[in-house]
Amino acid sequence: MLVAIACKHGTLNAEHQEYITRKSEKLLTYFERVTQITVTVSFEKERSRVEILVDAEHKHNFVAHDEADELIPAFDLTLHKMEQQIKKYKEKIQDHRRTPPMDGGVE
Q: Give the CATH number, domain containing residue 78.
A: 3.30.160.100
Domain that holds residue 49: 2-98
Could you read off the pLDDT of 70-96 as tens digits, one per residue?
A: 999 999 999 999 999 988 888 877 775
Separation of alpha carbons 27 and 90, rounded Å: 12
Provide the CA 71 distance to its chain's centre, in angstroms.
16
Classify burial at 102, counting beta carbons within 10 Å of its beta carbon; exposed 0-12, middle 13-18, buried 19 or more.
exposed
> Does residue 75 lie in a domain region?
yes
Which positions ≥6 away from 94 have C-beta within 8 Å?
Answer: none
Separation of alpha carbons 106 and 96, rounded Å: 20
Could you read off the pLDDT of 14-49 as tens digits, one per residue?
A: 999 999 999 998 888 887 788 889 999 999 888 999
Helix axes 71-98, 14-25, angle to 10 degrees: 10
> Does residue 104 lie in a domain region?
no
What total of structural domains would you count in the chain? 1
